[in-house]
Amino acid sequence: MRLRALLDTDSLGLRLLGGEDELDRTVRGVMTTDLRDPSRYLSGGELVLSGLAWRREPADSESFVRILAQAGVAGLAAGTAELGPVPDDLIAACAHHRLPLFSVTESVSFASITEYVVRQVSGERAGDLAAVVDRHRRLMTSGPAGGGPEVVLDLLGSDLDLNAWVLSPTGRRIAGAAPGGDATPAGDTAVGARLAGEHLAAARSGRRSPHRVLLGNSTYSLFPIRSGGRDLRETVLSDWLLAVEADAGDWPAERLDLLQGVTQLIAVERDRRDAARTVRRRLAQEVLELVQTGAPPAEIAARLRVAAPVLLPGLGTAPHWQVVVARVEWEGGDLPGGPVAQTLLEEILVDPGSAGPDPADRIAVAHTGDEAVALVPLPALHEDDADTKAEGLHAESLLRSVQEPLARGLSDDGRLTIGVSAAVHSAEGLRGALEEARHARRVAAARPGPVCAAGHEELASHVLLLPFVPDDVRRAFTARLLDPLRDYDRRHRAELIPTLEAFLDSDGSWTRCAGRLHLHVNTLRYRVGRIEQLTGRDLSRLEDKLDFFLALRMT
């Protein structure tokens, strides 16, 4: 904006005292100061507001104005509320250095002028940046020459001082500066997951964007990057989001429009990356169909040889393979879960340390019905050591950083369950790995919560049997054994159930269990005797111990 525009705004209460020929100077900011030498805080183009507290004698005006002129400020506005009319020596100094000088009426505060200037300058800068973003969008639409979302996020930072980044639905940082500044990777992940969770919860509740979130001392504004046209339950778990470290609540319409344009631009990049996964998805689909239809291992191995260079470029030896199965189920069953499960698996299985522009470039996921199946390559340790067990994925680690945001996105009407197989080193093992992953997923489905996972290591345990016991049988079995103890605890606060759990976890050791519960052994013996009396069971017998153990696991 120009100085002339400020003078023409009656509400600002400015009166020109000198420098009429310089009113076309551009104002790039505003600064209020009463320092004798404010040069270290000036970068050029500011309208300086001053109450003249720095002036002790007439000679001070020349020194102060010279400093402003050398810094390249746009003009000086002097307040009259404290010291009265603007002194003649200041008027003369400004005329000498060709610095426009204004007086500010007593009825107008410096804060009002500052707010007006900042709003106008911000709006103009947003308009200029919008033109840049529009040009960049056209480049991105025709090909990758625009440089991806990083370029536009850099422009937001340099031109509007906005720290912004792109996050996945799990909070993984895709582009832009790290949330929280120079945060550690662990802190970065935690902040991203919190923001993604807040965004998913707000979107599922139907609140209008941008969603504003306060974390610590920082306010963040979250803008969805829409794919459009699909059910909200599906898109909210697959779309990216743009996070800006600022409060968008009082932004002018121009700046909000600019950020919406940025989200549309980034959506182009999202579509491009999604299209790049087509080959990997097709390879996974072909292998899955061969495995499910019982194709000869030689045919599956041939398809795997085609897949290996795509998924692990440059790999010198045949990899091990691991299968991960995911299922998304919606209440009412009105929405297919397969596409959502496919997108979520591609996100959950991302290796942030892998090379290339897209860290998901080594993941092949197919889907059918409500189920998605991922074929995950693991490099073999040595060519001559084919039986060596490769280090693979673990169910617990897969969900460590994504469980909270995904649970909020699934809300009360969706559920994600995941099963992980052991690693296999040949095509003959893939069919067994697929069944193993499916069994593990069913074990996960028997657990409470919207997001659950189980691994192959759990299938050698009794827990493999529990998901397949009918619900009415489970309820009858646990009620017969545990209801007498629950009723007694409720009436007498005897803590028989916790005592039973601790006794079984201590393998029936009286001393270890007593120490764990901080009880005298005689007190423990009394409680165990009461448990046996109420249930008619004998905790010295293996069969009765096992029955209690299973009953507790079924609750």
What per-residue confidence (pLDDT) applies to 179?
Answer: 47
Helix, strand, or coil (residue 334): coil
The pair of structure tokens assigned to 63 is: 């020194």
Cα–Cα distance for residue pair 73/65, rounded to 1 Å: 10
- Cα–Cα distance list, 2 to 13, 45, 74, 535 (Å): 16, 10, 9, 88
Q: What is the CA radius of gyration of the chain?
A: 34
**Is there a contact between 78 and 52 (Cβ–Cβ < 8 Å)?**
yes
Pairing between β-strand 320-330 and β-strand 414-420 as defined by DSSP bridges = antiparallel
* Res 388: pLDDT: 42
Q: Where are the alpha helices (DSSP H) in 39-147?
A: 59-71, 88-96, 110-142
Q: Report which DSSP code applies to 2.
A: B
**Which two three-digit tokens encode residue 28?**
């790039």
CA atoms within 13 A on the CB side of 447: 17
CB count within 10 Å of CB 384 equals 8
pLDDT at 120: 73
Residues in the chain: 555
What's the CA gap between 165 and 246, in Å, rounded?
Answer: 12
Domains of the chain: 3-108 (3.40.1390.20), 146-276 (3.30.450.30), 282-465 (3.30.70), 471-554 (1.10.10.2840)
pLDDT tens for the 555 residues of the chain, in order? 789 888 888 888 899 999 998 998 888 888 888 888 988 888 888 899 998 989 999 999 999 999 999 999 999 999 887 778 899 999 999 999 999 999 998 888 888 888 788 777 665 555 555 555 555 554 444 444 445 677 778 777 776 778 888 998 888 888 886 544 443 334 467 888 889 888 888 888 888 888 888 888 888 999 988 765 556 666 778 788 999 998 888 787 777 877 887 887 787 777 777 777 787 788 888 888 888 888 888 888 888 777 767 666 555 455 678 899 999 888 876 677 788 888 888 888 875 444 344 545 567 788 887 899 988 887 654 444 444 444 577 877 888 778 888 888 888 888 899 999 888 877 788 888 888 888 888 888 878 888 999 888 776 555 555 655 667 777 888 888 899 999 999 999 999 999 999 998 888 889 889 998 999 999 999 999 999 999 999 998 877 888 888 888 777
Q: Of 273, 242, 282, 235, whose CA–CA distance to 258 is shortest? A: 242
Global confidence as pTM: 0.58
Place of tokens 């194709």: 295
Tell the residue number behind the tokens 């600002």, with chain if given. Answer: 12
Residue type, 135: R
The predicted structure's pLDDT at residue 95: 95
Three-state SS string across 362-416, please? CCEEEEECCEEEEEEEECCCCCCCCCCCCCCCCHHHHHCCCHHHHHHHHCCCEEE
192/170 Cα distance (integer angstroms): 8
Q: ω into residue 309 within 30 of 0, thus cis?
A: no
- For residue 542, what pLDDT is reported? 78
What whole-number distance in Å separates Cα of residue 441 and Cα of residue 451? 11
Integer Cα distance of 452 and 402 in angstroms: 11
β-strands 218-225, 211-215: how paired?
antiparallel
